[in-house]
Structure 1
Amino acid sequence: MSVEIRPLSEPGEVRAALATFFRSMVGLPNLEFDAVSITEPGRYVGAVADGAVIGGADSYTSWLAVPGGAQVPHAAVTHVGVLPTHRRQGIVSQLIAAQFEDFARRGEVVATLRASEAVIYERFGYGVATSARSVRIDLRRSGLRDAVPDVGEIRLADAEATTETLNAIATRVESSGTIGLPAGWWELNRIRRAAEPVSNYVAVHSTDGVDDGYVIYRPDDPDHWFTSRERSITVTDFVAVDDQARAGLWRHLLSLDLTDAVTIESVALDDPITLAVTDRRAVHLGAEHDETWLRLIDVEAALAARSYAEEDPVVVEVRDELIPVNSAVFEIGPKTVRRVTASPDVGVDVATLAASYLGGTRWSRLAAVGRVDVQDSDAIRRLDVLFGTDRLPHSGVSF
């Protein structure tokens, strides 16, 4: 069988590719929409055999916020799948290689995805750069402490919550791990919410007349809302520009009438909600799970884009079998990142570097399990300082 890997330009091919993705994933809900409306022209790479699309890998033009607040050019990878009749034939490897070439041509420094399986993407140089968990708060036992900031205002925005309104807020978030949300993402989420049998409520926080946060939530069991022993809501979107906006959104959620419990689907591992309530035992933290799988497309540009803490530089050798230009030795310090010919203090593959890049995984933890080749033991301490961040990175969205 001859398989052609190429960009899909015809609307019919794009629709066929997305249908292939849904078929390959098995358990996704059946939604009624036109694939062309949620994809970006020229970014869907397909595998075509005998005139039929048998697999594909899609992406969106985006940005990724890195330590220091810079927003680097970023490809948000999604819709990767191959028909079950064509698995184990190297098609996914060809699709991802074609994506890497495309991203490099576009000048995209990094790529991220959300993995359906945890063992697929490390061999392609992706590493787990952010993790997340859910949090559930029993409102019958606890509320916010009086000391939690109460600045700004909340308005109910169910009717006015347009993509433009919410995206204007999301674009202002500079915390590490945040991504720019493309038009296709917004459209697909609008379609998903329209298909849900329950209402979705939107609340927007503003400070001095400027919107700086929003939440979207829904009741969990509206059919039995008034007879249920525990009336709970689920927050699907929680976006805050700063701590004051975050506190204002908490205050809104934790003071809702006729509500016994609030679940927020995704928070950072170091989210301070347990410190903000009067009874921390009323907060149930869900299990940690991988969130952002990060691939460095241009290692030198990615390393240069983020900031570093004050510490002596470290010489790091990076190995990248799939993008050979990334295989080099870099001196990484608080003032500069540059290619050098010096002997390395440590060596890593590109997936391990990706895991440490946003500050989500400490170098000492990676070294402890043998994922770093250490020539200078003090280099690991210095790398922990250089790559350290005040807060753990977090994205909070899936795509």
Structure 2
Amino acid sequence: MNDVRTVTEADFDDWQRALSVGFTDPPVIAREQLDARRKKFVPGRYLGIVDDGRWVATLRSFEQELTVVGGGVVPADAISGVTVSPTHRRRGMLSRMMAQDLAAARERGDVVATLIAAEYPIYGRFGFGPATWASRWTVETRRSGLDPRWSGPDDGGRIELLDAEEVRKLGPELHDRFRLGRPGAISRGELWWQEHTGVLRTHAEFKEPTYALYRAAHGEAQGLVSYASDRTWSGKQPDQTANVFKLFGTTPAAERGLWHYLCSIDWVSRVDSGYRAPDDLLPLCLPDPRAARITEHGDWLWVRVLDVVRALEARTYDREGALVLEIEDEAGFAAGRYRLDASPSGASCTPTTASADLALHVRELASVWLGGESLLRLAALGRVREEREGAARQADALFRSPGLPWCPDMF
């Protein structure tokens, strides 16, 4: 059996080639891209397996902050770059890498691990559950009912075009304000901003988008969008789609202003929203919501709870309640029975020997933790077991959040 190895600086290029093969990308990577990716290298956080001198499995992780219900944050082990070469499938390599990474994360004190799952069936067996979902809309601008002569927000705010350097200056602070108000949102480090504004060319296909900022009447930056048009013309008529890469706002006015701006751009017939929260404001921003058609919907951020006590104490609760939860976890990180005492003024969670009210797997705990799933629905599906009559309804009300969690980022 091949052991899991920690990647060194000397291994980095060959490990990256194995990553490309695992993702069915071309195995030859330009030197500029390799050098750019090397800036993200953190010793001890890149793992892999070598067979006969060749890297055949990869996994990396990095530090992350995840916002929970109420605006608190918890430290997370963000997992990415998970591959096994097609010649080495079904040999337990992913299981061994994941076990080592999660054990290290728990030892560091990370409350959860996170990832974006390429395929739905893979990660449930490691204790991950889908904690946020995402929807994608296509807006037919001519059907939207918006005034085509719109020239700017009517609330005293304004839309400003930015260049990449200005985005790197304004974006981080603006995004930090946004993410602390949105459960499911994650932190973005300096390298993220460099990579997404073209300073760090980790992939050959980067093309600089257009950036627009919403600034409120009192001068505060409150929203940012990046987008690009496909420049389609048909029969001497413009028929373009504006593809949104990222759009976030710290206020509803900022979000509405940016959507109205995108829908009012000359020559743009459609706006592709990119992946949004399922309860996003977008459709109802339009006088005719039917002009916004959902084209995709699916799971997004997956979470694996490593520390039940800190996870349940980190978030807020809008009502008072007490529950005893029996958590199943084959890996042992979260297994046990816990009493949660919650109220709007705070929560405490302690191990207990009292009789359980509900029994559920750690992956189901991950799905309900941020308020993105209903405990009643999971109970109806047989994935949560009621040990006390009425406990599922009580727990569902306790874990409910004001809005759905959303993670805007892929990693």
TM-score, normalised with respect to structure 2: 0.89
Deviations 1:302-335 (A, max 9, x none): 111111121321111111111x242111122223
CA distance in structure 1 between the aligned counterparts of 2:90 and 2:116, rounded to whole angstroms: 21
Answering whether residue 159 of structure 2 is matched by residue 154 of structure 1, we say: yes
Query: What residue number does 1:370 align with?
Result: 382
Q: Which moved more, 1:184-193 or 1:289-298?
A: 184-193
Cα 1:153/1:163, change in 2 over 3 Å: same
Query: What residue number does 1:113 align with?
Result: 115
- Letter of the 2:175 partner, please give it: A
Query: What residue number does 1:211 align with?
Result: 221
Cα 1:223/1:142, change in 2 over 3 Å: closer
Instruction: Give the conservation status (yes or no) of the 8 Å contact 1:60–1:182.
Output: no
Instruction: Give the conservation status (yes or no) of the 8 Å contact 1:177–1:358.
Output: yes
Q: In structure 1, the residue corresponding to 2:185 is in which secondary structure?
A: coil
Query: What residue number does 1:14 align with?
Result: 12
Cα 1:11/1:143, change in 2 over 3 Å: farther
Q: Which moved more, 1:153-162 or 1:167-176?
A: 153-162
Task: Map residues 67-106 of structure 1 onto 2, 5 A cutoff.
Answer: 67-106=69-108
1:180 to 184, 187, 209: 187
Cα 1:311/1:217, change in 2 over 3 Å: same
- Letter of the 1:91 partner, please give it: M
Task: Map residues 374-393 of structure 1 onto 2, 5 A cutoff.
Answer: 374-393=386-405
Cα 1:152/1:291, change in 2 over 3 Å: same
Query: What residue number does 1:239 align with?
Result: 248
How far residue 223 of structure 1 moved from its aligned partner, in angstroms, is 6.1
CA distance in structure 2 between the aligned counterparts of 1:326 and 1:282, rounded to whole angstroms: 45
CA distance in structure 2 between the aligned counterparts of 1:365 and 1:131, rounded to whole angstroms: 16
Q: Which moved more, 1:338-347 or 1:253-262?
A: 253-262
Answering whether residue 51 of structure 2 is matched by residue 52 of structure 1, we say: no
Query: What residue number does 1:274 align with?
Result: 283
TM-score, normalised with respect to structure 1: 0.92
Q: In structure 1, the residue corresponding to 2:300 is in which secondary structure?
A: strand
Query: What residue number does 1:265 align with?
Result: 274
Runs (4+) of structure 1 exceeding 6 A deviation are 28-31
Instruction: Give the conservation status (yes or no) of the 8 Å contact 2:329–2:361.
Output: yes
Cα 1:228/1:182, change in 2 over 3 Å: farther
Answering whether residue 338 of structure 2 is matched by residue 326 of structure 1, we say: no
Aligned pair count reads 394
How far residue 259 of structure 1 moved from its aligned partner, in angstroms, is 1.3
Structure 1 alignment gaps of length 5 or more: none
Q: Which moved more, 1:194-203 or 1:120-129?
A: 194-203
Instruction: Give the conservation status (yes or no) of the 8 Å contact 1:38–1:187.
Output: no
CA distance in structure 2 between the aligned counterparts of 1:112 and 1:144, rounded to whole angstroms: 39
Instruction: Give the conservation status (yes or no) of the 8 Å contact 1:167–1:181.
Output: yes
Query: What residue number does 2:315 align with?
Result: 306
- Letter of the 1:319 partner, please give it: E
How far residue 7 of structure 1 moved from its aligned partner, in angstroms, is 2.2
Query: What residue number does 1:136 align with?
Result: 138
Structure 2 alignment gaps of length 5 or more: none
How far residue 356 of structure 1 moved from its aligned partner, in angstroms, is 0.7
Query: What residue number does 2:172 align with?
Result: 167
Q: In structure 2, the residue corresponding to 1:385 is in which secondary structure?
A: helix
Cα 1:325/1:160, change in 2 over 3 Å: closer
Q: In structure 2, the residue corresponding to 1:179 is in which secondary structure?
A: coil
CA distance in structure 1 between the aligned counterparts of 2:70 and 2:84, rounded to whole angstroms: 38
How far residue 123 of structure 1 moved from its aligned partner, in angstroms, is 0.2
Query: What residue number does 1:286 align with?
Result: 295
* Aligned-pair Cα RMSD in Å: 2.4
How far residue 112 of structure 1 moved from its aligned partner, in angstroms, is 1.1
Deviations 1:50-71 (A, max 9, x none): 4432212111211000001001
CA distance in structure 2 between the aligned counterparts of 1:275 and 1:162, rounded to whole angstroms: 28
Instruction: Give the conservation status (yes or no) of the 8 Å contact 2:364–2:383.
Output: yes
Deviations 1:179-213 (A, max 9, x none): 00234444443356984486510011223333222
CA distance in structure 2 between the aligned counterparts of 1:317 and 1:261, rounded to whole angstroms: 49
Query: What residue number does 1:348 align with?
Result: 360
CA distance in structure 1 between the aligned counterparts of 2:141 and 2:62, rounded to whole angstroms: 39
CA distance in structure 2 between the aligned counterparts of 1:31 and 1:164, rounded to whole angstroms: 30
CA distance in structure 2 between the aligned counterparts of 1:206 and 1:17, rounded to whole angstroms: 44
